[in-house]
Structure 1
Amino acid sequence: MVKYWLAAGAAALSLSVSATAAFAQTTTVPGEQVGLAIGAPLPEGVYGINTFTYRSPDGPDLTSTDTAVNIPVLVWSTPWKVLGARVELAIAPPTVFTFSRAPGGRDTSINVGTFVGGIFAWDLGNNIGVSYLSGVYLNELNAGRGGGLPILASNTYRQGFAISYTGDGWNVTANLTYNFYDTPARFSGRNGIPGFYGSQFPTDALNLDLTATKKFGKFEIGAIGYGTANLPNRSQLAFGAPCNGNFASCGTVVGSGGGRFALGGLVGYDFGKFSVQAWVARDVATSARQISPITGLATDRRAYSTEGWFRVVAPLYTVAAAPEPAPVPLVRKY
């Protein structure tokens, strides 16, 4: 069971969407992959994974908003291999929630772009595994009702590279995730953000998730860290083009510059049929700034955040290991 739920991280994928600019411009939420051996091949079978996070930023209640993301994932670790790598397929429909602290502020929920993708995971021996992930968040399906989230005007394409060590009860994993977008992108639709909102140019993003935990019987404990940084957008030069008197042609560069990094601790328990993990992390560096409740503008004071996470991993179907052949008696003739 330990190998199952650790290796399930190879398909947990960080299948989630950020709800505020404080996450930096990343569709993949930083930290959603920690605690999982992303690089290790997942044993053949079908797995259910659900990860929930709640994020509370520092700052005046009049201008701060708490956010939450729930990510249910269905993973099929296939019997097929390509160049020695286990092929794993996954689908996930994340949901984002916002909770305003201002009196009379609105709480919202948005079902964002469903993720579809796959992983190639190699077992290199000596308890070391590496994986490559490729997939897409189908954000454009929500472009007409995106609630103002710029990333929902564009599909997000994702690449991921991970390495894991899982020997002697350890899970030491480093995972790098790269997001890039269809740009320029636009909102459309009668019931959502109209076309005059203008073209969107979300910047690319790079996430790093780190895990170092140890199993003690059914318990697990360890340290985690994660962060994100914005990268220059390949189409950003288009923002400098003249508007020609048309507001819609000006466009908006979203998430340019900035990032954050958080550190925390993780605990887990293996119940046999399923396993759970929980962790808490706090920003140690961030480019986000608190918003003044008087002027509505960013101040010089940094807006650090605290995040709590909870995950359940349940193998829904696994292929039983082939029984070892019975020993054949040795018959000798003299």
Structure 2
Amino acid sequence: MNTVMKYAAAGAFALGAMTTAAFAGSVTQPGERVGLAAGAPLPEGVYFVNTLDWGVRRVRDGNGGRGDVTVAVDIPVIAWSTPWQVLGGRVQVLVATPLIHVATDNNLGGDTEYGFYNPFAAVQLAWDLGGGFGFSYYAGFYFNAGSNDLAFQSTSFNHAAAVSYTADGWNLTANLINGIHIDEDRGYRYPDFFNLDLTATKTFGKWELGLAAYGSWDYNSPRGVAKQSQFALGPLVGYNFGPVILQAYLTRDVYQKNYGGKDTRFWSRIIVPLWSPEKPLAPLVTKY
């Protein structure tokens, strides 16, 4: 269950959907995979992982006024850890259909938008390297779908590599995520991006305590606006009810560039094993 609690869910987030002049490239929400041992393979089975977060960023508009942008994101994920292996790594399939709610206060126009956006699908390989170490890599796509007011009107390629140490109740994980937009929105491309999600926690019985941190950086600025970047951190707590697992973490930007203000965000997560067969792992491809 410790492995399940630390699993790397996948999802999506369009920072450019905020009604500010932001066009940050991170379709993958920065911080959404904090608290999960992204490098550790799951036991065979099907899992439901839902990450819900809510946050406020106080920004300055083009006329010098200030107001709050509130963003809530729900990322429901179905993860299938298959009975197959490729080159010793477990084959895992991830699908997500995220939702978003964006609102600005009256100082910024008082707009509200919500709906589905940019569904996600990926295939992952995860290796147990022994000694508590694990490594994984996945590749997939966010698809151009959802509300025109919320979603990036672009399909993007997304891939990630993660390394985890999970021995003795620890979860020390670095998850590196790269996204590349592969089509255009009305003649414009969105910025490509790099995210880094970091976790350092320790379990004490059924409790998990530690630190959450994440950052995001635009690679380029094809729309002619300034590249954006941020880094946030805060405490994380989790509890294993067996089999249902809950996590929560609170983060605050300690650095931001070209967002107009710092973001404060509360995160919650529930992990529910839906199905787990009682049979041994069956290699799909055997490495000789």
The TM-score, its normalising length taken from structure 1, stands at 0.77
Residue 227 of structure 2: SS of its match in structure 1? coil
Instruction: Show CA shifts across 1:19-78 (max 9, x none).
Output: 436683210000000000000001100000000111111247863311011000011100
Structure 1: stretches of 5+ with no match in the other structure: 187-197, 237-252, 291-302, 323-334
Contact 1:24 1:255 in 2 (8 A): no
Change (3 A) 1:272 1:255: farther
TM-superposed CA distance for 1:13, in Å, is 2.0
Change (3 A) 1:23 1:312: farther
TM-superposed CA distance for 1:3, in Å, is 2.3
The residue type paired with residue 276 of structure 1 is L
How far apart are the structure 1 equivalents of 2:250 and 2:134? 26
Aligned residue for 1:134? 139
Instruction: Show CA shifts across 1:80-110 (max 9, x none).
Output: 1001000000111001111221177232102
Aligned residue for 2:69? 65
Aligned residue for 1:288? 258
The reply on whether 1:228 has 2:198 as its aligned counterpart is: no
Aligned residue for 2:272? 314
Contact 1:157 1:180 in 2 (8 A): yes
The reply on whether 1:279 has 2:254 as its aligned counterpart is: no
How far apart are the structure 1 equivalents of 2:101 and 2:177? 23
Instruction: Show CA shifts across 1:139-162 (max 9, x none).
Output: 2x34xx411x5x622101101010
Moved more, 95-104 or 160-169: 95-104
How far apart are the structure 1 equivalents of 2:206 and 2:88? 31
Change (3 A) 1:212 1:23: farther
The residue type paired with residue 30 of structure 2 is P
TM-superposed CA distance for 1:261, in Å, is 0.3
Quick one: which of 13, 19, 25 aligns to 2:10? 13
TM-superposed CA distance for 1:304, in Å, is 1.1
Aligned residue for 2:31? 31
The residue type paired with residue 320 of structure 1 is E
Residue 3 of structure 2: SS of its match in structure 1? helix
Moved more, 19-28 or 215-224: 19-28
Quick one: which of 95, 115, 122 aligns to 2:120? 115
Aligned residue for 2:148? 146
TM-superposed CA distance for 1:209, in Å, is 0.6
Contact 2:23 2:191 in 1 (8 A): no
Change (3 A) 1:51 1:23: farther
Residue 26 of structure 2: SS of its match in structure 1? coil
Aligned residue for 1:296? none
Larger Rg: 1
Change (3 A) 1:23 1:309: farther
How far apart are the structure 2 equivalents of 1:110 and 1:32? 18
How far apart are the structure 2 equivalents of 1:154 and 1:81? 32
TM-superposed CA distance for 1:273, in Å, is 2.0
How far apart are the structure 1 equivalents of 2:14 and 2:33? 13
Quick one: which of 263, 267, 279 aligns to 1:305? 263
Contact 2:228 2:259 in 1 (8 A): no
Aligned residues: 272
The TM-score, its normalising length taken from structure 2, stands at 0.88
Moved more, 257-266 or 14-23: 14-23
The reply on whether 1:81 has 2:85 as its aligned counterpart is: yes
How far apart are the structure 1 equivalents of 2:196 and 2:131? 24
Contact 1:133 1:159 in 2 (8 A): yes
Structure 2: stretches of 5+ with no match in the other structure: 281-288
How far apart are the structure 1 equivalents of 2:56 and 2:82? 38
Change (3 A) 1:180 1:119: same
Task: Give 1:160-309 correspondences, 5 Å limit.
Answer: 160-183=160-183, 185-186=184-185, 198-232=186-220, 236=222, 253=223, 256-290=226-260, 303-309=261-267
